[in-house]
Chains A and B, each alone.
Chain A
Amino acid sequence: MSETISPAERLKTQVELLPILVRAANVAGLAIVILVLVTIVASLAPGFLSPFNLFTLTRNLAIDTVIGFAMMVVLATGGMNLAVGSIGVCSIMFTGYLLEGLGLPIVVSILGGLAVGAILGWLNGILVVRTGIHSFVITLATASLYFGAMLILTHAEAFRELPDAFNALGKARYGSYSALLLVTFVVGASLFVLFKYSLIGRQILAAGANPVAAKLSGTPVDRVIVIAHMLSGLCAGVAGVMVTARLAAALPSVGQDWLLPSFLAPLLGGTLLSGGVVSVVGTFLGAVLVTVLQNGLVLLEVGSFWVQFFLGLTLLVAVALDRWRSVYVQRAGLKR
């Protein structure tokens, strides 16, 4: 195949379609599955397309996508962040404290919440890099550590008297859709630019795909891994603030159920578990699939036990897809 080759001069003009098609096929395949699912759900459950349901659905979607981004950024490095939920709830409680406890302006409180997320993520990164222990173990530990520290500091007491102007953010809508989607799009666009056009993004992917080769080519592997964890914490913080606005309260119980959706969205969307490949659009579509599935099952009144069951099943499918992709890549590499 590649040995039968075009002369090098043609490189400049020729745009290779196949890799683009393969990538597009992944996204397109996901889009088709979503369309089919939406059609089925909409025809079985008439309430699906009602303005109320669309608003709830898109609000959940906005949040789940950002949770997915939080995991995606660390998956890019070949690691994982099991502390996504714990970081999220720390941001939530800190934002609530700033708003209600200190009465600080909304913008300042939000920035404070995001800063907590970024700092806790940064700490994860530092621990991973300094100890050389896999992020799975580190973030498993810090997940409990952060959550415990939050409980100690807040005595597990919620902040329920948040300013109306803040709570309005959660109710804001654009047509039938939640305005929180705008936040998600801003985060998504930033990550897209990061991974496609920036030095740091490329270095994160290189470090994720092959840390040894990246290091020997002059990539500051440790630094970019810390940055990826910090961005992950920041995304978890964004998701936390969004949840706070949605609930109009800062609850210490939020975040414990984030782990599953955080893996589902990126893995369904084509981000490799082994690192080095991410898809921002894919993560968004993955989150759409999960949200629609969840929402549809609720509307069809199959019961919440089945929702858990189906989400687990979906994750298995996503992981199988991931496995297939990486085996495919590996084969391509070993053939020579």
Chain B
Amino acid sequence: MTASALLVEKATKIFPGVKALANVDLELKSGEIHALLGENGAGKSTLIKIVTGVYRPDEGSVSVMGSSVDFSSPRDAFAAGIGVVHQERNLIPRYSVAENIMIEQLPTKWRLIDRGEMNRQAKHWLGALDLNIDPDVPVNRLSVAQMQLVEIARALSQQSRILLLDEPTASITENEIKVLFDLLRRLKGDGVAILFVSHKLEEVFELCDRVTILRDGRNACAGVPIEDLDKQRVVAHMVGREDALGDIGERHASIGKVMFELKGVSTAAGHQDIDLKVHKGEVVGLYGLVGAGRSELAKAVIGAERVTGGEVFVSGERATVRNVQDALRRWRIGYVSEDRKQEGLILLHSVAKNTAITVWHRLGKFLNLFSDRQERDAIISFVQKLDVRTPSLEQDVANLSGGNQQKVSVAKWLAAEAEILIVDEPTVGIDIRTKGYLHRLVWDLAEQGAAIVLITSDLAEMVLLADRVVVMRDFRIIGNLQNTYNYEQMSRRIMGCIHEADVVVGRADGAPALKGA
């Protein structure tokens, strides 16, 4: 029980401009469940990517079962007996459940795949999770929760001695979590070393033996027994100083008239009966688990998804948002995407072009012609206001750090003079300093009269910033809570709201029924 199954010593990983990890230690013993905690951007994902061979550490060492290893690809890590369930989906959509589970170790007969045997083995691992789904079903027919469980089944099937689970419970229900936890305890009894990454502290205290916390790419603590910690201390470790939450100054809210309202809105994406009011100067948080339909709602609001029913009002006026141009030019609604690389920015193009894209249409006079200088003059004040750190406006956005990229994707909506701004996961993967800056910015914008909808999965951020928290689940709004700025209380109420809906709404995802035990 004392051997180190996995030992990471003084791991350092530097990306140009950002030190993602600095001298980080992590020790996993056989037969323990070890929690890895930290805020978004603290370096958890980078650490996991090092352990699973996606990245190579710039300094430091990794050893497995006492012998030093140097992974150059994820297959090396797999061969060394490390199984992983990544945060992002890693299933091949059109392949069957069984194919996805067994993909690394397909049973063969005369060099051809033995489908019967494959399905039989897959069924065995699904059974271990009390999952009763047909192994022949393609995974794109499953619900998000089922996909998550299939990924866990795949990691189990590899019978790894070391199992890494990155937010495995983000999108599964209470019942499924219980089954999973029982199974993890069984594996622990069999001597498997388990690393458990989660944002839900309740789960950590329920399940884990020891805790390692990262903050800002460093160890805030390493391998501390759970008995020595309580939630306050864990949070203090995660956010740094106790007063870190107060860093961004005072909120001077002056809430005005209703600026933006949805009445009984339904969308092609599947939203039903959405009622939402956002006032001038207000920050409304939109909280929900992965797959609750928050970003999809944002896209419907800006005309990128179809609204199929209900009414939208902007400043009291009935609004029909036909497309994004319409949202931008006529209704002044902006959307800062959660996925800045894919949806927020044009990495190939310069800071100037990325910021000015929302104002190009009003730069030109004759034939819509304008010069680079006109473009620069139109946006420079916003780039400066957000303190975007770039050598020049001509720099390609791809060459900026994550935080500065995020500032650019916000700057373009300031340039566009958006009065209603939907900010989706604004601080994912962003360093603490920029994070504080963006937090303050959200308030500043509200105080200057914008109506803000804040989407974030980071509950601490939600409680810190929002005036009001609207809770979503299964593409419906299920709660509307005034923020008390008390993390404990708010997280309990929000989670309560979600779990209560579990009973009332049930599972309305239309996927093949998932028969839990």
Check A205–B389 contact: CB distance below 8 A. Answer: no
Residues 293 to 346 of chain B near chain A (Cβ within 8 Å): 299, 302, 304, 323-325, 327-329, 335, 337, 341-346
Kindly specify which of B10-18, B62-70, B467-475 makes contact with the partner chain. Answer: B10-18
Check B391–A2 contact: CB distance below 8 A. Answer: yes
Kindly specify which of A13-21, A139-147, A247-255 makes contact with the partner chain. Answer: A13-21
CA distance A277 to B17 in the complex (A): 26
Residue in B closest to A19 when the chains form the complex, CB atoms = B394
Expressed in whole angstroms, the minimum distance between the Cβ of B391 and any Cβ of chain A is: 6
Query: Given A2-B17, A205-B349, does the pair A217, B395 have CB atoms closer than 8 Å?
Result: no
Check B393–A2 contact: CB distance below 8 A. Answer: no
Residues 235 to 287 of chain A near chain B (Cβ within 8 Å): 272, 276-277
Expressed in whole angstroms, the minimum distance between the Cβ of A274 and any Cβ of chain B is: 9
Residue in A closest to B413 when the chains form the complex, CB atoms = A217
Check A209–B348 contact: CB distance below 8 A. Answer: yes
Kindly list chain A residues whose C-beta atoms are within 8 Å of the C-beta of B357: 202, 206, 214, 217-219
Expressed in whole angstroms, the minimum distance between the Cβ of B39 and any Cβ of chain A is: 18
A336 touches which one: B304, B367, B371, B400 (CB < 8 A)? B400
Task: Verify if A46 is at the interface (C-beta below 8 Å from B).
Answer: no
Check B389–A277 contact: CB distance below 8 A. Answer: no
Expressed in whole angstroms, the minimum distance between the Cβ of B242 and any Cβ of chain A is: 29
Kindly list chain A residues whose C-beta atoms are within 8 Å of the C-beta of B390: 2, 5, 11
Check B369–A216 contact: CB distance below 8 A. Answer: no
Kindly list chain B residues whose C-beta atoms are within 8 Å of the C-beta of A209: 346-349
Annotate A211-230 by CB proximity to B: 1 below 8 A, 0 otherwise: 01111111110000000000
Kindly list chain B residues whose C-beta atoms are within 8 Å of the C-beta of A6: 391
Check B325–A197 contact: CB distance below 8 A. Answer: no
Check B380–A210 contact: CB distance below 8 A. Answer: no
Query: Given A2-B404, A12-B380, does the pair A336, B348 have CB atoms closer than 8 Å?
Result: no
Task: Verify if A332 is at the interface (C-beta below 8 Å from B).
Answer: yes
CA distance A272 to B349 in the complex (A): 13
Residue in B closest to A13 when the chains form the complex, CB atoms = B392
Kindly list chain B residues whose C-beta atoms are within 8 Å of the C-beta of A210: 342, 345-348
Q: Which of A200, A209, A333, A336 has the most CB of B within 10 A?
A: A336
Kindly list chain B residues whose C-beta atoms are within 8 Å of the C-beta of A212: 342-343
Residue in B closest to A14 when the chains form the complex, CB atoms = B392
Kindly list chain B residues whose C-beta atoms are within 8 Å of the C-beta of A218: 324-325, 327-329, 357-358, 361, 416
Task: Verify if A304 is at the interface (C-beta below 8 Å from B).
Answer: no
Residue in B closest to A199 when the chains form the complex, CB atoms = B368
The interface on chain A, measured as residues whose beta carbon lies within 8 A of the other chain's beta carbons, has a size of: 44
Residue in B closest to A333 when the chains form the complex, CB atoms = B398
Kindly list chain A residues whose C-beta atoms are within 8 Å of the C-beta of B341: 333
CA distance A332 to B380 in the complex (A): 24
Check B16–A206 contact: CB distance below 8 A. Answer: no
Query: Given A15-B392, A202-B353, A220-B325, does the pair A2, B401 have CB atoms closer than 8 Å?
Result: yes
The interface on chain B, measured as residues whose beta carbon lies within 8 A of the other chain's beta carbons, has a size of: 61
Check B324–A336 contact: CB distance below 8 A. Answer: no
Annotate A6-37 by CB proximity to B: 1 below 8 A, 0 otherwise: 10110110111001100000000000000000
CA distance A19 to B399 in the complex (A): 11
A8 touches which one: B17, B384, B405 (CB < 8 A)? B384
Residue in B closest to A221 when the chains form the complex, CB atoms = B324
Q: Which of A214, A216, A332 has the most CB of B within 10 A?
A: A216
Query: Given A11-B384, A209-B349, A219-B357, does the pair A16, B394 have CB atoms closer than 8 Å?
Result: yes
CA distance A15 to B18 in the complex (A): 25
Q: Which of A19, A212, A217 has the most CB of B within 10 A?
A: A217
Check B16–A277 contact: CB distance below 8 A. Answer: no
Task: Verify if B402 is at the interface (C-beta below 8 Å from A).
Answer: yes
B343 touches which one: A198, A203, A213 (CB < 8 A)? A213
Q: Which of A6, A202, A209, A213 has the most CB of B within 10 A?
A: A213
Check A20–B346 contact: CB distance below 8 A. Answer: no
B302 touches which one: A193, A216, A335 (CB < 8 A)? A216
Expressed in whole angstroms, the minimum distance between the Cβ of B337 and any Cβ of chain A is: 6
Query: Chain A interface secondary structure, helix, strand, loop or mixed?
Result: helix
Kindly list chain B residues whose C-beta atoms are within 8 Å of the C-beta of A203: 360
A276 touches which one: B302, B327, B349, B412 (CB < 8 A)? B349
CA distance A329 to B349 in the complex (A): 10
Kindly list chain A residues whose C-beta atoms are within 8 Å of the C-beta of B327: 218
CA distance A52 to B363 in the complex (A): 48
Check A199–B360 contact: CB distance below 8 A. Answer: yes
Kindly list chain A residues whose C-beta atoms are within 8 Å of the C-beta of B324: 215-219
Check B367–A198 contact: CB distance below 8 A. Answer: yes
Check B383–A197 contact: CB distance below 8 A. Answer: no
Expressed in whole angstroms, the minimum distance between the Cβ of B393 and any Cβ of chain A is: 6
Check B343–A197 contact: CB distance below 8 A. Answer: no
Query: Given A1-B17, A206-B353, A336-B405, does the pair A276, B364 have CB atoms closer than 8 Å?
Result: no
Residues 299 to 329 of chain A near chain B (Cβ within 8 Å): 329
Check B392–A197 contact: CB distance below 8 A. Answer: no
B16 touches which one: A3, A8, A15, A199 (CB < 8 A)? A3
CA distance A19 to B348 in the complex (A): 12
Kindly list chain A residues whose C-beta atoms are within 8 Å of the C-beta of B391: 2, 5-6, 14, 16
Expressed in whole angstroms, the minimum distance between the Cβ of B319 and any Cβ of chain A is: 16
Kindly list chain B residues whose C-beta atoms are within 8 Å of the C-beta of A5: 389-391
Expressed in whole angstroms, the minimum distance between the Cβ of A201 and any Cβ of chain B is: 9
Query: Given A216-B302, A336-B15, does the pair A2, B399 have CB atoms closer than 8 Å?
Result: yes
CA distance A280 to B364 in the complex (A): 22
Kindly list chain A residues whose C-beta atoms are within 8 Å of the C-beta of B392: 11, 14-16
Task: Verify if B387 is at the interface (C-beta below 8 Å from A).
Answer: yes
Check B398–A199 contact: CB distance below 8 A. Answer: no
Residue in B closest to A1 when the chains form the complex, CB atoms = B16
CA distance A203 to B346 in the complex (A): 11
Could you jot down 20 A-B contacts, CB within 8 Å?
A: A1-B16, A9-B384, A19-B350, A193-B369, A199-B363, A202-B360, A206-B349, A209-B346, A209-B347, A210-B342, A210-B347, A213-B344, A216-B335, A217-B412, A218-B327, A218-B416, A272-B348, A329-B398, A332-B398, A333-B398
Complex A-B, nearest 4 residue pairs according to Cβ-Cβ distance, in ascending order = A3-B17, A16-B392, A333-B398, A199-B368
A interface vs B, CB < 8 Å? 1-6, 8-9, 11-12, 14-16, 19-20, 193, 196-200, 202-203, 205-206, 209-210, 212-220, 272, 276-277, 329, 332-333, 335-336
Known: A16-B394, A202-B357, A216-B324. 6 other contacts (CB 8 A): A5-B389, A14-B392, A19-B395, A198-B364, A216-B299, A218-B361
